[in-house]
């Protein structure tokens, strides 16, 4: 059954923020992706085939190394465990991985092994030929022993393990089963991106992440509907002792199925350019989310958003944490009030995600001790001029210094909760300084709003915003409305004429 979003945006944001503290061990088949771009201007005189004039070449991480690259691009740490050949492609691949910041100390060089390399030739962004250089070969006895040793050593620092099987040989002949056993013995969860139709050698893994076609092949029948996906997944869970199955469906979404529960998430509609690498991105983000403490359902939400972004890119694509946050925010809309009260770091990341999506971010600030019509009018006016509005709220200590003893009437927790519940406010950040200058300099909003009782030269942070290309907007206030006046009325003080 399809259900409403599983988690509120800020809850998802907190998990994504935790990616930076996670280390993922990625074991499997490393592949060097080579992209040759050029132009076709004539037909060969030797045969009726086009002649490609090469104009550029790039090398990229493919296969299991693309999973590791996605983990790093999302802010996590990745350690690759594999074997490559003592050939030029192997050297190039290790250089690419090191350049991306992926740990390569557990990658061994095996004499006689051919490093898998896939060369793609394109003209005018249209692929015209793919040339694969590879040899499917199990590890030799010495290489196998060394790989298991390096995997065990790396396990100590890992939070979670991903086995990325591309069928090139590194995980053949029971290696996958040995790695799973070592990981589970160490208490580390194991996710497997499988290959082939026989999943017995992945038995005991925490979860597998096949795509819809692979899931059908594993159970010997086609699966299309949610009900069919659930039935197939539970058959594999029962047969191979998996805790759950994550079935990716390219641009159509993702399903996470346990023995007794299931969630089916649809990817937000967007133009699809290329589904290459979407599965790698999905398992990378799912692994990071699970390691960062997310539930299966929340991790699936994050993985689904990740895959939805990369299918809109060309080639072996990756995404950043900010892009992911932007996709999650676009999916879930405005932040619910109980999750909209942030610290500074959270607000900065949230604002960056909004900006990445092309949304304009506004900022205003104040004590907002007793909410009145003037406040509401100012906030509504500000929000009508930007896509998202962040409110900087003076802390209790800050209000006391500015307003004197007896203030605030409402503490910062209550004030923040009330303000975050307003439709005009997308996020609230409490600050302890007398002015919000540090907050403004960190956020660098597109628009800075202040009441028209201020002049431009009196607006704190105006210079920082304008130097960054933003604007300062002075908003007309409602006459006769102030917190001080409201408090005076409550105390029975005479009203000023």
Q: How many residues belong to the chain?
A: 497
In angstroms, the Cα distances linking 475 to 195, 301, 384, 393, 483 are: 60, 39, 11, 18, 18
SS3 content of the chain, % helix, strand, coil (to 5): 40, 25, 35
How far lies 21's CA from each of 189, 305, 442, in Å? 16, 21, 22
Using DSSP's 3-state secondary structure scheme, residue 173 falls into coil
Rounded-to-integer distance, Cα 140 and Cα 133, Å: 20
- Residues 80/68, Cβ–Cβ less than 8 Å: yes
The region, left, alpha or beta by phi > 0 then psi within -120 to 50, assigned to residue 172 is beta
Annotated catalytic residue within 159, 165, 193, 280 = 280
DSSP secondary structure, 308-359, as one string? HHHTTSSSS----HHHHHHHHHHHH-SPPGGG-EE-HHHHHHHHHHHHHTT-
> Cα(408)–Cα(398) distance, rounded to whole angstroms?
9
Half-sphere exposure of 75 (CA within 13 A, CB side): 19
In the residue annotation, 274 being an active-site residue is answered as no
Contact 359, 322 (CB under 8 A): no
Q: In what order do the strands lie in the sheet with 50-63?
A: 50-63, 30-43, 116-123, 126-133
C-alpha separations of 320 from 375, 410, 450, 472 in Å:
37, 39, 33, 30
Active site residues: 280
């Amino acid at each position: 059954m399809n259900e409403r979003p599983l988690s509120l945006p800020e809850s998802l944001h907190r998990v994504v923020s935790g990616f930076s503290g996670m280390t993922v061990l990625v074991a499997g088949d490393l592949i060097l992706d080579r992209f040759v771009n050029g132009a076709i201007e004539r037909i060969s005189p030797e045969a009726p085939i086009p002649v490609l004039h090469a104009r550029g070449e790039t090398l990229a991480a493919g296969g299991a190394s693309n999973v590791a690259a996605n983990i790093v691009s999302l802010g996590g740490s990745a350690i690759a465990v594999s074997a490559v050949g003592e050939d030029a492609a192997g050297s190039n691949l290790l250089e690419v991985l090191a350049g991306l910041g992926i740990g390569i100390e557990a990658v061994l060089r095996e004499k006689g092994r051919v490093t898998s390399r896939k060369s793609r030739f394109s003209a005018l962004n249209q692929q015209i030929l793919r040339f694969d250089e590879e040899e499917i070969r199990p590890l030799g006895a010495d290489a196998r022993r060394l790989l298991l040793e390096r995997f065990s050593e790396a396990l100590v620092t890992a939070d979670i393990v991903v086995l990325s099987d591309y069928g090139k040989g590194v995980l053949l002949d029971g290696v996958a089963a040995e790695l799973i056993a070592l990981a589970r013995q160490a208490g580390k969860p194991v996710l497997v991106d499988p290959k082939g139709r026989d999943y017995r050698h992945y038995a005991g893994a925490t979860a597998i992440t096949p795509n819809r076609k692979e899931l059908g092949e594993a159970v010997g029948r086609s699966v299309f509907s949610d009900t069919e996906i659930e039935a197939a997944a539970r058959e594999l869970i029962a047969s191979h002792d998996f805790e759950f199955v994550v079935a990716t469906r390219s641009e159509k979404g993702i399903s996470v199925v346990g023995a007794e529960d299931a969630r089916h998430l649809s990817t937000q509609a967007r133009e699809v350019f290329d589904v290459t690498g979407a599965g790698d991105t999905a398992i990378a983000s799912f692994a990071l989310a699970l390691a960062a403490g997310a539930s299966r359902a929340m991790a699936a939400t994050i993985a689904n958003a990740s895959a939805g972004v990369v299918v809109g890119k060309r080639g072996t694509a990756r995404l950043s944490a900010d892009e992911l946050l932007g996709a999650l925010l676009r999916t879930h809309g405005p932040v619910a009030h109980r999750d909209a009260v942030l610290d500074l770091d959270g607000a900065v990341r949230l604002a960056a995600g909004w900006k990445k999506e092309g949304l304009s971010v506004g900022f205003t600030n104040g004590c907002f001790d007793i909410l009145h019509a003037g406040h509401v009018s100012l906030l509504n006016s500000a929000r009508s001029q930007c896509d998202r509005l962040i409110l900087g709220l003076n802390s209790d200590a800050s209000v006391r210094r500015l307003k004197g003893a007896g203030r605030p009437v409402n503490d910062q927790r209550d004030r923040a909760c009330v303000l975050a519940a307003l439709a005009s406010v997308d996020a609230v950040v409490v600050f302890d300084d007398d002015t919000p200058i540090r907050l403004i300099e960190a956020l660098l909003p597109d628009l800075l709003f202040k009441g028209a009782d201020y002049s431009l030269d009196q607006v704190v942070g105006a210079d920082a915003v304008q130097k960054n290309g933003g604007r300062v907007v002075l908003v007309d206030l409602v006459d006769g409305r102030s917190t001080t006046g409201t408090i005076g009325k409550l105390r029975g003080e005479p009203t000023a004429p």
